[in-house]
Amino acid sequence: MAEQRKWQVLFLSKISPENIKKVEEVDPGIKVYTAKSVTEANDLLPKIDIVASLGWEFPKEAFVKAENLKWIHSLSAGVDALFYPEFLESDVLLTNSRGVYDVPVAEHAFALLTSLTRGIDRFYRFQMERVWKRSTITEMDGKVMGIIGLGSIGREIAKKAKLAYNMEVIATKKRVRGNEPNVDRILPADEVDELLRVSDFVVVATALTKETEGMIGADEFKTMKDTAYIVNIARGKVIQSKAILEALNKGWIAGAGLDVTDPEPLPSKDPLYEAPNLIITPHMGAQAPQDRHEQRTVQVFTKNLRAFMDNESMPTLVDRERRY
């Protein structure tokens, strides 16, 4: 009998023994290693077949050393950090963790919107100043929600907007194919101006690609209602930093919530910190309790792993051309 193929899997992430066991149970030939960094895993890299890692934690220097690599699984939905030439010129497969972050990111988007519309940021500032002071507020119920990028996170935002806030939901999608639950109107990606024109609230949830980098600039902000709010939970480079600063300072829009910025981390002297009606959070929208996050991550990874072992289509395979 031929010796069974051994598959060496490296997680550059904390993972519990219970979840390591779940991965190894997919096939008796699987062996899982864990490490806190590629430096710690340096001696393992040449024999590793599969890496599960955040994109920016697996640089090209590590990729080159992993000469036996067949597949990278990104532990985040975004994969732009992995598109260095060495990867693009290889046959290594790439999957991501889309679906894992839907709930926490959608909740974070609405936390930012609620804080902005109900003036929570202002009231907290008044509290710290020991001042009893009121301020104007607005409502979200029954308004128009525009979602730029109707992926799995966008769908979760649409569900919450429709079911919790009774909103009319409009979204852009690169390929429009029929109807979507909780979405009243789907526009092609190149009709984003129409979405911006009619929306009271805009959530940017698109992948970062050559087409989407810098897609929201001064002209786009001027297209929006001056009573509208925008939230970015995608990537900082989708919105032009100078343009959003100008839009807030000149009152082109009512306010903004940014969980992502360009650059990151945002330097302490960056003028965005002083922009009016802006709430910044340090790229933590995807954060969730460790046990729930790890459970979701392992579920997505093992689904892909079973498909990989059976030579079937992998559920979250990333298209090299579209980059998502």
Catalytic center residues? 235, 264, 283
Q: DSSP label at 226?
A: T
Nearest CA among 76, 94, 75, 99 for reference residue 84: 94
Task: Please check whether residue 51 is in contact with residue 73, taking contact to mean a CB–CB distance below 8 angstroms.
Answer: yes
Instruction: Tell me if residue 237 falls in helix, strand or coil.
Output: helix
Q: Exposed, middle or buried, 162 (CB in 10 Å: 0-12/13-18/19+)?
A: middle
C-alpha span between 115 and 281 (Å, rounded): 12
Task: Please check whether residue 2 is in contact with residue 285, taking contact to mean a CB–CB distance below 8 angstroms.
Answer: no
Task: Please check whether residue 155 is in contact with residue 102, taking contact to mean a CB–CB distance below 8 angstroms.
Answer: yes
Sort strands 93-95 and 50-53 into parallel, antiparallel or unpaired. Answer: unpaired
Q: DSSP label at 321?
A: T
In the numeric block, which tokens belong to residue 297?
Answer: 């991550």
- H helices of 13-146, where? 17-24, 60-65, 85-88, 102-117, 120-128
Bridge partners (DSSP) of residue 94 are 72
Q: Exposed, middle or buried, 174 (CB in 10 Å: 0-12/13-18/19+)?
A: middle
C-alpha span between 125 and 269 (Å, rounded): 20
